[in-house]
Structure 1
């Protein structure tokens, strides 16, 4: 077993401080920005390309909404979607109008259509789509794809424990920071690790090697530039050879049947935050809480949309920003994604609040240090996080 990183996280943290000025610029990705991207707009007389639709009305005759059996989106119908004509009301005016409606039933009746409208705007703002016509289909596919690889329980095979897993994930977060990978790579690597722990029999001596291979495979899928195999072995103090790493990679790909796709909870978080018109600080706080949940072994049984929704809801409670009428209405529309899952969200919030309250005093502090910088608005050092369990009615002493 290599001594650096997995057994002692301090040396790798120091290495990260030394190379922070020399590492390459981050890849532009959805997870690397809270704000909207600047999008190219054609000049007058300039065409977007041959793939542009000539008839905006030419759309699928009937879209497939998310099944109500999923318990996520309910009551949506194609005919309920609002018109996207040029004469429609401005976004803020619509939200203020909805807030002023008399009676909760009137608001609930309009929420499904508003959710579709706001989802299309959010996906376009975040740069996820080029043609808004496909936005709802993409979102529906995201909701379905999170159900592909679910875990019946959070039990780990012997001799591994939640503590062992947390140490490994914390070390992977540090390696991820050293190479300056995108956030999608981190979430995909942890997802692959969770699947491997349930499908592949490995001993303790090969656990670190398995984690590095999962990170390497995630980087191959998400990154443009990859580290050398020898660099990965060097970070493990050459405790494993290049041949051992490549053999483990072949084994992982075989056992997982080359199925490496994953709908990251970070995508759901940024999409929901855009729909809810959350501030940048709320988004960074939610991202911090969501990344803390990667260290919690019991979180593997929850869906990605539920993890994201719980992190965003807890971030709002921790920061206690003054509410506005249009902001509360936008949050009502965003929270309709999780209809029928309030109990599950509360369970996740309890786990995340406990993790945030003890993050500063734990040995696995990579995420805490990562979100204590000015670029992340120092959200991990927010004083309210120490009493976050109390906001949910959970005594701090029990965390």
Structure 2
């Protein structure tokens, strides 16, 4: 089965590829198209009059949410027509900006720079069809994380962290056998975590629920699907076709047919592209991010937080030389992060602990997957074997 996902780290490094290539799938599919009506003569005259007004227009370009610390909206002067501000308001804004003691060029350049970098990255990764909706799609990606966030990492009885880790490890092997995209895996595990906390399931049906979640994720993300009989065969025909379809209906009704999820791999690749990370750093970050699927403690963190922690830990492990340009790019990529430094380092410690013990664990599917030539042998990196050094991250 051909791979249908667009999240391939090699695409990030190939900056000479055709920019006009039409992406296979896009987040813009989920966005409603704005109404573009034909303006009447009176409206055209009104817009022309507003366009002739003096250039002193003030727009709230960077509204920040205090609890989030992330840009959620942006307006460009050359893309929208805004009413002119009264002189006394303009003077107050000037005094406020002067009090910030920021360079004039830096103050004007940074918002536009962040916007263009995100636009370029999302277009390169095939996350949108029309660049006009870049910030709408990105804002929806950021806001949707809180919609289905899990408040606690505790599992209902009789399940344990080890039991769920074994199931996720097996799902990773099945996912690899079908050559599904990375989005399918992250969506499947997300659905599994939601289902376990909403449906009372016995241990005997745990594997069936896991396969159903993977099947639903494939229906949403893939172009080609496996037969139900194939899935039953992978479970050694422990469950019948009728049982699988019945559990699928039960899961869909419990989730109210809401299969939406913004996978952390999207935020990881966006940040990596903006930060100009090397292919090895990206592979290491993907490895650490996939290891987090086995950690029950990570389910209560936002996808953007998991992505930021994986990328930062990967840069710490690879230890590549940094230039002023790469550091500036990393600062721009860091604006996507949502949360506190304490949260970031908490996730990094969880990932570091999992990576240091991955080669000795029973759940080795991810370790084996990232020990090949295609993944640059990142799971065999010497820094991962030195557990005391790896776990001594300074907070």
Judged with a 3 Å threshold, the aligned counterparts in structure 2 of structure 1 residues 244 and 330 are, in CA distance, closer, same or farther, namely: same
Per-residue CA deviation, residues 347-387 of structure 1 (Å, 9 max, x unaligned), is: 00000000000101100000000011111111111011123
Determine whether 1:68 maps to 2:65: yes
Q: 2:3 touches 2:179 (CA, 8 Å); kept in 1? A: yes
Determine whether 1:178 maps to 2:158: no
Q: 1:34 touches 1:283 (CA, 8 Å); kept in 2? A: no
RMSD in angstroms over aligned alpha carbons?
3.0
CA distance in 2, matches of 1:276, 1:104: 27
| Structure ID, larger Rg | 2
| Residue of structure 1 equivalent to 2:20 | 40
| Residue of structure 2 equivalent to 1:114 | 113
Judged with a 3 Å threshold, the aligned counterparts in structure 2 of structure 1 residues 206 and 315 are, in CA distance, closer, same or farther, namely: same
Offset of residue 80 of structure 1 = 8.4
Offset of residue 137 of structure 1 = 1.3
Counterpart of 2:214 in 1: which secondary structure? Answer: helix
CA distance in 1, matches of 2:72, 2:190: 31
| Greater RCO, CA 8 A, separation 6+ | 1
Offset of residue 126 of structure 1 = 1.8
Determine whether 1:153 maps to 2:142: no
| Residue of structure 1 equivalent to 2:389 | 390
Offset of residue 167 of structure 1 = 0.2
Counterpart of 1:376 in 2: which secondary structure? Answer: coil
| Residue of structure 2 equivalent to 1:207 | 206
CA distance in 2, matches of 1:174, 1:81: 50
Counterpart of 1:136 in 2: which secondary structure? Answer: helix
CA distance in 1, matches of 2:258, 2:61: 24
| Residue of structure 2 equivalent to 1:230 | 229
Judged with a 3 Å threshold, the aligned counterparts in structure 2 of structure 1 residues 247 and 322 are, in CA distance, closer, same or farther, namely: same
Q: 1:233 touches 1:241 (CA, 8 Å); kept in 2? A: yes
Q: 2:383 touches 2:390 (CA, 8 Å); kept in 1? A: no
Determine whether 1:306 maps to 2:305: yes
Which shifted more, 255-264 or 64-73? 64-73
| Residue of structure 2 equivalent to 1:277 | 276
Summarize the alignment of residues 249-398 of structure 1 with structure 2, pairs less than 5 Å apart.
249-338=248-337, 340-387=339-386, 390-391=389-390, 393=392
The number of equivalent residue pairs is 338
Judged with a 3 Å threshold, the aligned counterparts in structure 2 of structure 1 residues 131 and 359 are, in CA distance, closer, same or farther, namely: same
| Residue of structure 2 equivalent to 1:127 | 126
Q: 2:70 touches 2:338 (CA, 8 Å); kept in 1? A: yes
Q: Gaps (5+ residues) in structure 1?
A: 1-23, 43-50, 83-102
CA distance in 1, matches of 2:315, 2:334: 13
Q: Gaps (5+ residues) in structure 2?
A: 23-33, 39-46, 48-58, 80-99
**TM-score of the aligned structures, taking structure 2 as reference length:** 0.79
Counterpart of 2:322 in 1: which secondary structure? Answer: coil
Judged with a 3 Å threshold, the aligned counterparts in structure 2 of structure 1 residues 294 and 135 are, in CA distance, closer, same or farther, namely: same
Offset of residue 345 of structure 1 = 0.8
Offset of residue 388 of structure 1 = 5.8
Judged with a 3 Å threshold, the aligned counterparts in structure 2 of structure 1 residues 344 and 380 are, in CA distance, closer, same or farther, namely: same
Judged with a 3 Å threshold, the aligned counterparts in structure 2 of structure 1 residues 311 and 248 are, in CA distance, closer, same or farther, namely: same
CA distance in 2, matches of 1:75, 1:124: 19
| Residue of structure 1 equivalent to 2:188 | 189
**TM-score of the aligned structures, taking structure 1 as reference length:** 0.78
Q: 1:31 touches 1:182 (CA, 8 Å); kept in 2? A: no
Determine whether 1:30 maps to 2:29: no
